Chain A
Amino acid sequence: MIRFENVTKTLGSKKVLDGVNFHVGAGETFVVVGLSGAGKSVTLKHMIRLMESDSGTITIDGDVINDLGRHALQIMRSKFGVLFQSAALLQWMSVRDNVALPLREHTKMPEKDILELVDEKLELLGLGDAGDKFPSDISGGMQKRAGLARAIIMNPKIVLYDEPTSGLDPVTSRLIDDLIIDMREKLGITSVVVTHDLHSALSIGSRIMMLHQGRIVENAPPEDFVRSKNATVQSFLESQYITKKGKWEGFSHV
């Protein structure tokens, strides 16, 4: 569904992606982890061409997206829903209007049907009472859920999550993780999650890829990822108190 082949990207004098190759299959929850500045968010932005690679090929659903024209790019982007790190809700609109925005812009649905669908999604994400509130009046966790409601309102094939649990308390983080799992199990959505939270990655991921200094150092299912022999991966696991002999011994995907 998503394929990166020898993708490189340099920002300033720093090579952020250095010949990256990977593939995300349909229905997978693919998690990209790594330290700050490892190239995780840059990878995500390349999938929707918010950034363009210096070289290499990116294929989405069989189509190479590197040279797409504006119209084709719009069609390609319509396959995606994106939950941004900051939720990126438009501050001058209510939560309901934020979620309704893609429908009002891209469909000819009657307003009554739009509002029904929006309220249904808000209810699904536990935001039934927050529709009339403005983003500044709700908590960070609620903003993320509203951002997720907007991301899935057009029934995308793929949802990208950029640091979905950053800045959230553990309970809300777990709630977001459960929502991501639900997206896959109930709606069959392919998900790509960028995070530095390994506990979250191990809980939700069907495969975990670690980037370090623009290169892939590991790409494996969670149970294999925790047993990786790569020193960078081991160090990253240990930094979050995850060891082969500790809590994650006998780890199996949940």
Chain B
Amino acid sequence: MGIPIRSAERIGQRMLTLLQNTGRAMFMLLEAIWFVQFAFSKRNRHETVGQLYITGIKSLAVITVVALFTGMILALQTGLELRRYGQEVFIGSAVAISMIREMGPFMCGQIIAASVGSAIAAQLGTMAVSEEISALEVMSINPNRFLVMPRLVALCVMMPVLTVYTNVLGVLGGAVVGATQLGVSVQAYMDNATRFAENKDLYVGLFKSFIFGIIIATVACHQGLMTTEGAVGVGKATRRSVIISFLVILVVGYIITRLFYI
């Protein structure tokens, strides 16, 4: 009799904590959105530009490799199947539609959550445990304006840009495989790639990447700012940031696809 009650208590307690944390994260996000109007003011310009650089330029190398190989794998797998029916010429459209609709924003979101998101959680977590966040509060410097807003702006601006870059490189990677492994000329591949993809695919993909940017910034900043327990806590916050971002990106990605395509 005691064990089921204790279990119910624990579940209830966890649900309560989950709701409290979600509420705090939403409040943090709303306040950061309010501060976006000051993103390039004299006080915030330096930090905002710095975060744009870190999120955009510093992520290019890993995104280049992942995007190219994603396109190449997609082209190879699809091409081998299509070749059985003599339709390998259509790999261009298969790769382009897959990349633009789903793989571009999704891969980009996962890479940025793992690289930039984890770095944000670790940095803010370290600041929290070394009392730097408290110091900002005592100096009446709002951490949501000083730290969260520039990261939110950087991720929301750079995610769509990086997604377009991912899409382009993925399609090019597919073209290389098409030309070298499947005997599909670059001209034929590109004709197919541009014929079937619609503007809507691009818009929805970019919308997804924008939303993923908000998700990564919110989860990473919230996990970082809530960090306790010293170095161990920083590790936990970083891990939780990546896992939660991955899961929320997956679920929200599905919901957006469902909303726009059915």
Contact = CB atoms under 8 A, between A and B. Distances in A.
B134 A84 contact: yes
Residue of B126, B137, B139, B141 ringed by the most chain A CB atoms within 10 A: B139
Contact of A88 (B134, B140, B141): B134
A91 B130 CA distance: 10
A88 B132 contact: yes
B12 to A, nearest CB: 18
Contacts of B137: 50, 77
A175 interface: no
A48 B140 CA distance: 11
A91 B43 CA distance: 18
B139 A101 contact: yes
A50 B138 contact: yes
Given A86-B131, A90-B132, A104 B43 contact: yes
Contacts of B179: none
Nearest to B130: A86
A225 interface: no
B250 interface: no
Interface in B125-156: 126-127, 130-132, 134-135, 137-141
A82 interface: yes
Contact-size category for A = 20 to 34
A77 B138 CA distance: 6
Contacts of A101: 139, 141
B141 A80 contact: no
B198 to A, nearest CB: 44
Contacts of A221: none
A104 to B, nearest CB: 7
Contact of B139 (A45, A86, A91, A102): A102
A203 interface: no
Contact of A50 (B43, B132, B134, B140): B134
Interface in A99-124: 101-102, 104-106
Nearest to B47: A92
Contacts of A230: none
Contact of A84 (B43, B135, B140, B141): B135
A68 to B, nearest CB: 12
A215 to B, nearest CB: 25
A55 interface: no
A85 interface: yes
A77 B137 CA distance: 9
A45 B135 CA distance: 11
A144 to B, nearest CB: 13
A79 to B, nearest CB: 11
Contacts of B126: 91
Contact of B140 (A77, A86, A150): A77
A78 B132 CA distance: 17
Nearest to B134: A50
A45 to B, nearest CB: 8
Interface in A127-183: 150
A235 interface: no
Interface string B155-195: 00000000000000000000000000000000000000000
Interface in B197-254: none
12 contacts: A50-B137, A78-B140, A82-B135, A84-B135, A88-B130, A88-B132, A88-B134, A90-B132, A90-B135, A91-B126, A91-B132, A101-B141
Please provide the 5 A-B residue pairs with the shortest distance between their CB atoms, ordered closest to farther.
A88-B135, A88-B131, A74-B140, A84-B131, A82-B138
